[in-house]
Structure 1
Amino acid sequence: MPDLWLPGAERHPLGDTAPTDTQFQPKVVWHITWDKNATAAKPADLVPFDALVRYFTGAGRASAPHLLWDPFTGRIAQFYPANSRSKSVADAPGGTRTNRAGRVLLQVETLFFPYCRVNGKSYATVRDTPAKGLDKVLTWARSWGVPDDWPMGKPTWKANRSDRVWASRGGHYAHGQVPENSHNDPGPMPDWPAIGGKPKPTPTAPPFPGKAAFGPGKVNDSILRLGHQLVKKGFGTHYKVGPSRSWGEADRLNVRAFQRAQNWSGSDADGYPGPETWRRLFA
């Protein structure tokens, strides 16, 4: 069995453990603590790590995560074991129990707010930080079966939520991608390092062939590539046999299902891939 407690993390067990809903795929949810509101013109000093430990073991225990991670020093504190839910996302009545929807649902609060200042330097996003200790968190998550994927795409400052994707796919999620929640953190995140700390190559999407490659009467390799990727991402339910080089209504319906999973509507979810559909599909 993988470690219930991340090796090397400081342990601050809160005690009020509860099981997760293990019929769902394993997940990690990423947050930032966002303790201050700063700007590029007026950065502010980062809040001390120990102050957040005191908060999550005291007045803030009702919203405590599994882990508190400092990307500047690599320091990590843990409040719940991996097989327990934690409490860092809102959980409205009905729907999935958002704090429990996974064989594990590991929640990580990153000690960060936009334009925090550390050793005289300001940092706009978590992606800009040294990300020390990230490899330890990811290795632990992988040991619990969490895939490296971002099922709803890499985080931005814009919220993007899909109940269907959340309920059906394991991987990493931003707080801004969790149903029933209203926050849009953590913002852009670093690329994942491979096990052992070596950089993980960033997959490159094939060039978008242009909108003219898709539609009734079109026959080409790009349609086949699109179909295979839709199946890989779990959006191939309308194929009766499988993808082919010829465009058909099943292709359009599968693309539309993927677009709707991005919370798009109207002309943005018409079933015909554009550059952003292509980029997200191959991310």
Structure 2
Amino acid sequence: MTVSYYPGASRAYDYSGRYNGSLIKPNCGVIHTTEGTSLPSYGNGAEAPNITAKPNFASRRLDFYQHYPFNRSARALVNLAGGVETNTLNAIQIELVGTCDPTHKNSWNGAKAGQDYIYWPDAPDWALDGLAAFLAWQYNNNGIALSGPKTWLAYPSSYGATAARMSFSAWNNFKGWCGHSHVPENQHGDPGDLDFAKLISMAKTKAKVPGDSGGSGSSGGGSGSGTTYTVESGDTLSAIGARLGVQWQDIAKANGINAPYTIKPGQKLKIPGKTTAPKPVPPFPGASYFGPGKNNSHITLLGNQLVKKGFGRHYASGPGPKWTDADRQNLADFQRSRNELRGDPDGIPGPLTWRLLFS
């Protein structure tokens, strides 16, 4: 099930009432740059991505504006008739306010890079950190792989029919994150030579990808250190409490946080009592292991956990390795019970459903 909205993103420029888009189950993402210094109008939504990240230099963070839910196609790619599907091919699209044009590497019409706008190939760590947090959230909630093309050409060499531009078949089978410069049927060269390796390394650290230490890059937070915790973009008190084994109400009380219980990225929180390591969660095998006609040990594991959690009322004789409608109904009941799983419960596990079920 797709988690459709990024926590904390503004809905002030939500165009979903104007352009509904096609229903998608996202499995990849496209990174754009706006080639401007302010939030675009996007033709009142006619050319909008799912979400835009705008640098907030005063607070050294990215402010997010969501235009379409992540289970609906966006409109920021060229999609020619008779060719390959682009906008509607399960791609989440994010625009980064700023530029990839080296003409504006240092200044732009009197504005200064790094102070008034971002030249994204040289993005400051705090900006990459905010983008990495978004990619990590998409990995943990919607299963978008933290991987992508190795080649990110500098603009303007990235424009047009380059060696980095995917073929139709490569695009149809692509999973992970790429740039506008990689998408077929398109000529645009953004986001240029974004430091993708560093970005993905930072995102893996934030997402706590099993078996990956994260490598280079400053994660800038999201770690419990003794009795303190640094808030990441997208964090909530309940999520932090679940991660550290502490009641969120106790965290709020220890830090003098009252209703509406808001926290900000970079904020240092005192963690009361003894923190515990997160409970081990078995690796999510992928949604392809579940559904009609499937028969495997992952289904048995899922069923046993549903029963353990008190969501086994549809089983006539208990769970087993063969997928049944009782598995779907029980999992849908669990999905309805969790506020984190917004949207229609589909009875098929995704990464977030799996993590919540086994935590």
Is this a same-fold pair by TM over 0.5?
A: yes
Give the match for residue 64 of structure 1.
48
Corresponding residue SS for 1:89: coil
Report 1 or 2 for greater relative contact order, CA contacts < 8 Å, sequence distance ≥ 6.
1
Cα deviation, residue 156, structure 1: 1.8
Q: Deviations over 1:44-96 (max 9, x none)?
A: xxx23xx43xx13xx35211001111245311110000000000000001232
Corresponding residue SS for 2:62: coil
AA matched with 1:28: G
1:124-203 equivalences in 2 (<5 Å): 124-130=119-125, 131=127, 132-142=129-139, 143-150=141-148, 152-157=149-154, 158=158, 159=162, 160-161=164-165, 162-190=167-195, 191=198, 192=200, 193=202, 194-196=204-206, 200-201=214-215
Confirm whether residue 89 of structure 1 aligns to residue 77 of structure 2: yes
Cα deviation, residue 120, structure 1: 4.7
1:30 and 1:110 in contact (8 A); partners too: yes
Cα deviation, residue 196, structure 1: 2.8
2:73 and 2:87 in contact (8 A); partners too: yes
Give the match for residue 31 of structure 2.
30
Confirm whether residue 18 of structure 1 aligns to residue 21 of structure 2: yes
Give the match for residue 107 of structure 1.
93
How many percent identity over aligned positions?
24
2:50 and 2:69 in contact (8 A); partners too: yes
Cα deviation, residue 170, structure 1: 0.8
AA matched with 1:79: H
Structure 2 vs 1, CA of residues 87 and 13 (structure 1 numbering), >3 Å: closer, same or farther? same
Corresponding residue SS for 2:95: strand
Give the match for residue 8 of structure 1.
8
Separation in 2, partners of 1:74, 1:179: 29
Q: Deviations over 1:131-188 (max 9, x none)?
A: 24213311232121111111x3242222422222111121111101101001111012
1:85 and 1:99 in contact (8 A); partners too: yes
Separation in 2, partners of 1:200, 1:108: 23
1:28 and 1:141 in contact (8 A); partners too: no
AA matched with 1:87: R
Separation in 2, partners of 1:187, 1:178: 13
Q: Which runs of 4+ in 1 moved over 3 A?
A: 118-127
Separation in 2, partners of 1:20, 1:166: 19
Structure 2 vs 1, CA of residues 149 and 94 (structure 1 numbering), >3 Å: closer, same or farther? same
Corresponding residue SS for 2:153: coil
Which has more radius of gyration? 2
Structure 2 vs 1, CA of residues 144 and 122 (structure 1 numbering), >3 Å: closer, same or farther? closer
Cα deviation, residue 109, structure 1: 0.5
2:97 and 2:118 in contact (8 A); partners too: no
Range 190-199 or range 9-18, more displaced: 190-199
AA matched with 2:192: G
2:24 and 2:72 in contact (8 A); partners too: no
Separation in 2, partners of 1:119, 1:178: 28
5+ residue gaps in structure 1?
36-46, 203-283
2:137 and 2:207 in contact (8 A); partners too: no
1:112 and 1:126 in contact (8 A); partners too: no
Corresponding residue SS for 1:138: helix
Query: What count of residue pairs does the alignment treat as equivalent?
Result: 180
Cα deviation, residue 189, structure 1: 2.0
Structure 2 vs 1, CA of residues 34 and 200 (structure 1 numbering), >3 Å: closer, same or farther? same
